[in-house]
Structure 1
Amino acid sequence: KPLPPKPTVDDNDLIENFLRGSGPGGQKINKTTSAVQLIHIPTGLVVKSQDTRSRSQNRVIARKRLAEALDEREHGEASRSAIKRDRQSKKKSSRAKKSRRKYRKLEEEKSRQEGGAAVGEEDGD
């Protein structure tokens, strides 16, 4: 089943601010204004990104986060990110179930071999 289209945000609905970042990173973080803060005017939603040292990359990341947040707010469980999370969760649980099956089977084979060897030794005595 295909995913819904990627959400977009109109640039006219945004206020974009560049800030100094906080947290680890030392002097470079304290001196440069590479962190990006986006405010969505109609909803008042605020998103901040300071993941990289690059202002342009942080702008892209912030816009993506804002679009996803608006999509989730509007569509809830039918949003693109919610569907992706659900798919990942199902894949993870399927892998875990397969792994449990595999190790259960190995344990059963091991116990059969140990039981068979013990029986075989008694016959030889």
Structure 2
Amino acid sequence: MQRCLRTPWLSNNILAAARPLSTTSILAKNLPARPKPPPEDEIQEAFVKGSGPGGQKINKTNSAVQLKHIPTGIVVKSQLTRSRSQNRKHARELLAQKVDDLLHGNQSRAAVVGEVKKKKADSAAKKSRRKYKKLEEEKAAAGPSLNQDIVEEEGTTGEPEATETVKPVDENGKP
């Protein structure tokens, strides 16, 4: 697997945007190969009418594909597109994945990919927790904010005081 990495040769310069690109080989964990569909003699294929959104056309054409893997009894149905040939291809991919999951369990491609995604999500969540914990610690170490210091110097506690409103009165004593 090759990735394209930027290597900085001018740091903090105007020309930093025009950095050269270099490619390096990075050893990534290889995923299991995509499972191949079972042989045709192990598959029972049927074209059925679709259902769901799409109006009358989808309900009256036999473009949905239903495959049954005879040895395991797994049944999959695909009506992803309006095209029967594309649905056949998609149904075979689904069936291959389901059979792989059944035969290999935790070693199947779907399980390995799911585990990799879970590790990435857990790592991102852990990084986020560390970041916000560090921010909280910095806030606690900094002490009270500047606004609270100024208010305390003026002698107020920051709580609203009860004030008496004075209404202006005229010469007769009427407001």
Band the TM-score falls in, shorter-chain normalisation: 0.7 to 0.9
Asked if residue 24 in structure 1 is aligned to residue 57 in structure 2, the reply is no
Specify which of 27, 31, 34 is matched with residue 63 of structure 2. 34
Residue type of the partner of 2:35? P
Q: Quick check: 108-117 or 17-26, which moved more? A: 108-117
Asked if residue 6 in structure 1 is aligned to residue 34 in structure 2, the reply is yes
Asked if residue 61 in structure 1 is aligned to residue 90 in structure 2, the reply is yes
Specify which of 113, 117, 120 is matched with residue 91 of structure 1. 120
Deviation for aligned residue 1:102: 2.2
- How large is the Cα RMSD of the aligned pairs? 2.3
Deviation for aligned residue 1:111: 4.8
Q: Quick check: 25-34 or 74-83, which moved more? A: 25-34
Q: Which has the higher helix share?
A: 1
Secondary structure, aligned partner of 1:7: coil
Q: Which residue of 2 aligns with 1:101?
A: 130
Q: Quick check: 56-65 or 97-106, which moved more? A: 97-106
Which protein, 1 or 2, shows the higher relative CO under an 8 Å CA cutoff with sep ≥ 6?
1
Residue type of the partner of 1:99? S
Secondary structure, aligned partner of 1:103: helix
Equivalent-residue separation in structure 1 for 2:54 and 2:143 (angstroms): 57
Deviation digits for residues 19-74 of structure 1 (CA, Å, limit 9, x no counterpart): 11112221121122111101111222111011222222211211111111111111
- Percent same amino acid at aligned positions? 54
Deviation for aligned residue 1:6: 1.6
Equivalent-residue separation in structure 2 for 1:87 and 1:120 (angstroms): 49
Say if 1:123 and 1:45 are closer, same or farther in 2 by CA, change over 3 A.
closer
Equivalent-residue separation in structure 1 for 2:53 and 2:71 (angstroms): 33
Question: Structure 2 unaligned runs (5+)?
Answer: 1-28, 155-175
Equivalent-residue separation in structure 2 for 1:28 and 1:101 (angstroms): 54
Say if 1:41 and 1:114 are closer, same or farther in 2 by CA, change over 3 A.
same
Greater Cα radius of gyration, structure 1 or 2? 2
Question: Structure 1 unaligned runs (5+)?
Answer: none
Question: So what's the TM-score if we normalise by structure 2?
Answer: 0.62
